[in-house]
Amino acid sequence: MDLAPVIIFCYNRLNETQQTIQALKENYLSEKSILFIFSDGPKKFKDHAKVKEVREFLQTVEGFKSIEIVKSKENNGLAQSIISGVSQVIEEYGKVIVLEDDLITSPNFLDFMNQALDFHQDSEDIFSISGYTMDLPSLKDYPKDYYVGYRASSWGWGTWREQWEKVDWEVSNYSGFKWNLAEQLKFMRGGSDLPRMLSKQMNGKIDSWAVRWCYDQFKRDMYTVFPSTSKVVSIGFGEDATHTKDTNRFDTILDQGEQRDFEFEAETKIDKILAKEFRKKFSFKNRLLEKITL
């Protein structure tokens, strides 16, 4: 199997970056994997010291087939960093596995991701592979190694050049979508928060690459492959987190097993119960309750 290169995007969180890289290093396939690390430049003067600390640590990283560190002088922000960084690597290698600096992976994360990418290389309806999955009730005794969903996840994911290069980052057809109730309701199959998040993106209130990515998946009527047991957990809810706030909706259980071979099926079939449980995590009620209780 031709392993996909791994990309890590980091900024100014030394502790989280160390944990992310250490966990990835403990993957079974780490020594056979090419690693790219994109280090964003400081946004404010006070960030210079923290960015410098992270970059000094990056120079000590080892345990991979090869390591390339890309240091930006300017602050590009997460969205632009990911769009440009992934585009650069995927152009050369044809596929990628992507992590941010606050994600802990299980030792079999790279096994699952590479096998799923390899199996679905030519699938016409698979948009991406996710290493993360939420703690859905019906997954407790789920018999398969994977399921498919309507919404991509940005917490440890992979895709191919053929899919990435088709993404319309400008969302050029948004003017027609924002007045189309039927289309907005269909977009909500992945969560009721999506249309509002996209609206905020298009109105300059947020800078999210992920919601544009999810919208492109929706417009092309494609699916994401998820593991039935999560291979990723997030530790990105500290005071230095830029894009995440306190939440427990996405708490999940990291795979503690030793499985290294995973089975997939060519037929793409949505499990309606899992799709409902997935969508419920993003419901207005759950989001409101979280704001009240946290």
Q: What is the 3-state secondary structure (H, E, C) of 159-187?
A: EEHHHHCCCCCCCCCHHHHCCCHHHHHHH
Give 251-275 pLDDT, tens digit per residue: 999 999 999 999 999 999 999 999 9
Whether 67 shows a pLDDT value over 90: the answer reads yes
Mean pLDDT of 54-67: 98
- pLDDT band with cut points at 50, 70 and 90 for residue 243: very low
Q: How far apart are the two ends of the chain, measured CA to CA in Å?
A: 45
Which domains are present in the chain? 6-293 (3.90.550.10)
The structure's pTM equals: 0.94
- The secondary structure of 8-56 as a DSSP string is EEE-S-HHHHHHHHHHHHTSTTGGGSEEEEEEPPPSSGGGHHHHHHHHH
Mean pLDDT of 49-77: 98
Whether 175 shows a pLDDT value over 50: the answer reads yes
- pLDDT band with cut points at 50, 70 and 90 for residue 1: confident
Amino acid at 75: N
Q: How far apart are CA 27 and CA 152, in angstroms?
A: 23
User: What pLDDT, on a 0 to 100 scale, did the predictor assign at position 283?
Assistant: 85
What is the average pLDDT score of the chain? Answer: 94
User: What pLDDT, on a 0 to 100 scale, did the predictor assign at position 241?
Assistant: 44
- pLDDT band with cut points at 50, 70 and 90 for residue 236: confident
**Residues forming beta bridges with residue 158, ordered by sequence position:** 97, 129
Whether 113 shows a pLDDT value over 70: the answer reads yes
Percent of the chain clearing pLDDT 70 (strictly above): 93
In which residue are the tokens 């010291």 written?
Answer: 49
